[in-house]
Amino acid sequence: MKELELKYGCNPNQKPSKIFMKNDGELPIEVLNGKPGYINFLDAFNSWQLVKELKAATGLPAAASFKHVSPAGAAVATELSDTLKKIYFVDDLELSPLASAYAKARGADRMSSYGDWIALSDVCDIQTAKLIQREVSDGIIAPGYTDEALEVLKSKRKGTYNIVKIDPDYVPAEKEYKDVFGVTFEQGRNNLKIDDEMLSNFVTENKNFTDEAKRDLKIALITLKYTQSNSVCYAKEGQAIGVGAGQQSRIHCTRLAGNKADIWFLRQHPKVLNLQFVDNVRRPDRDNTIDVYISDEYEDVLADGVWQQFFKVKPEPLSREEKKEWLTHLSGVALGSDAFFPFGDNIERAKKSGVEFVAQPGGSIRDDNVIDTCNKYNMAMCFTGIRLFHH
Angle at 51 between CA 46 and CA 56, to 5 degrees: 125
Given the residues 46, 52, 55, 67, select the one marked as catalytic.
67
How far from 334 is each of 37, 99, 108, 354, CA to CA, in Å?
35, 23, 15, 8
| pTM of the predicted structure, to 2 decimals | 0.96
Sign of the alpha-carbon dihedral angle for 348, 349, 350, 352:
positive
Given the residues 22, 158, 175, 391, select the one marked as catalytic.
391
260 is a catalytic site residue: no
Q: Give the model's pLDDT for residue 25.
A: 85
Q: What is the CATH number assigned to the segment(s) 9-15+27-171?
A: 3.40.140.20
Angle at 106 between CA 63 and CA 109, to 5 degrees: 130
What is the pLDDT of the chain when averaged over all its residues? 95
Name the architecture of domain 176-266+327-383.
3-Layer(aba) Sandwich (3.40)
How far from 314 is each of 18, 31, 190, 340, CA to CA, in Å?
52, 47, 52, 46
329 is a catalytic site residue: no
Residue 296 to residue 293: CA distance in whole angstroms: 8
Q: Decide whether 9-15+27-171 matches 176-266+327-383 in CATH topology.
A: yes
- What is the percentage of the chain residues whose pLDDT exceeds 70? 99
C-alpha torsion angle, residues 6, 12, 16, 22 (rounded to 10): -50
Per-residue pLDDT reduced to its tens digit, 277-310: 998 889 889 999 999 899 887 777 666 667 888 8
Per-residue pLDDT reduced to its tens digit, 157-183: 999 999 999 999 999 999 999 999 999
Contacts of 290-295 spanning 24+ positions with Cβ under 8 A:
291/111, 291/263, 293/318, 294/263, 294/266, 294/267, 294/318, 294/323
In this structure, which amino acid lies at residue 242? G
Bridge-partner residues for 334, per DSSP? 235, 357
Residue 250 to residue 232: CA distance in whole angstroms: 8
Given the residues 40, 162, 230, 346, select the one marked as catalytic.
230
Q: Give the model's pLDDT for residue 174.
A: 93
Closest among 338, 328, 329, 330 to 233, alpha carbons compared? 338
Angle at 384 between CA 380 and CA 388, to 5 degrees: 125
68 is a catalytic site residue: yes
Closest among 336, 342, 391, 329 to 358, alpha carbons compared? 336
In this structure, which amino acid lies at residue 298? Y
391 is a catalytic site residue: yes
- Mean pLDDT across the stretch 368-380? 97
Of 52-61, 69-78, 310-319, minimum mean pLDDT range: 310-319
- Mean pLDDT across the stretch 340-351? 96
Given the residues 68, 154, 252, 323, select the one marked as catalytic.
68
Q: Give the model's pLDDT for residue 30.
A: 97
How far from 391 is each of 27, 42, 226, 246, CA to CA, in Å?
23, 12, 9, 9
Domain residue spans in the chain? 9-15+27-171, 176-266+327-383, 270-317
pLDDT score of 354 more than 80: yes
